[in-house]
Structure 1
Amino acid sequence: MPQDNTNSFRSATISVLVDNEPGILARVVGLFSGRGYNIDSLTVAPVEADGNRSRINIVTSGTEMVIEQIKAQLDRLVPVHRVADLSQDGPHLAREMMMIKVICPHKENGGYERAEALRLADAFRARVVDASTESFVFEMTGDTAKLDAFIELMRPLGLAEISRTGVAAIARGTRVI
């Protein structure tokens, strides 16, 4: 008997191509908040040289039925040109950038936290973009799980502050939205 996936919960990375005009982002966010849907990540930027169109990347989660409702409701908004569920339509790339501040002053124990923070940053390919005698700011790009893992490793070393961009996503190969 075929399995019914309508109640299975999943994450979705949805890209929306829109006219770049005032109020469109508010309408998209209003669609989510008005129906009680959560936005896990949101990025938006112009994608054409003349600035007339923008791409909105939204990461959300829900049952298959809820995701389909979100896509249908987004598709009905004016001035939306295209809605694509990158997580369902085939292989895609998703990356996020973050800066993370770790405060670990020199201590009499030889600065274990500082050395460990630098060692882990190297292992995760994070760049030091600011350093002082008491802190580091690391810049890192990768998928969400990688960034989350780095954050958890930095917590006991003096994690002080995090700033993340949200997910930027694009289909692999020749597929476009």
Structure 2
Amino acid sequence: MCTSGYDARFAKIGDFMMNAVESGAAAVSRLLQLIAPEPERLDEDAVLEAVQEAYDHDLPLMWAVYHLGKHEAVFAAEWADVFTLVEQLRAVAANWQADLLFGVQEAEDEALIFDCEPQTLLRAAAQELRGYGLALWRWQGDNPELCLGFICREEDTDLLQACAAALAARLRDVAEEDWPDDGFVDS
């Protein structure tokens, strides 16, 4: 069978894209291994599909991380929606067997949480998570109105930063974040 030059070039492009998808899937999988409370439940086929979808729609690979980890390993809430932020942070922390009280010790003071600024809540959550050996991270997504992030073990910081570089993600350790300066530093 004779293959035209066009077919051969198309095959090379297809191979390149498959390699890009496989490489992206490996990076996404490595990050999910660090941020998922139960990494053994990670479905490699689902990772490949999510990365392919990200490439197909010209989305950053962190979209695949969000898509695969939402509600279990990843939290996302609009900055203005403190209730959802608290709910999501508590849900993700609970998956790590950690309780977040946001500095409130008495049940009758629980309502005070919802009067706080999101940055104050994130700072309190980061401090409480340190007591569990965990770190709270957030990343800059395409929508500046969203607060996106996850939890990982403090000991995995170097591995996490290597994954961020591979994914071209801009991450911040919330405990070390300087809130007045809202700019991100590329990893």
Q: Same fold (TM over 0.5)?
A: no
Q: TM-score range by the shorter chain?
A: under 0.3
Q: Which one has the bigger strand percentage?
A: 1
**TM-score normalised per structure 2:** 0.24
Structure with max Cα Rg: 1
Q: Which one has the bigger helix percentage?
A: 2
For CA contacts below 8 A with separation 6 or more, give which structure has more relative contact order: 1
**TM-score normalised per structure 1:** 0.25
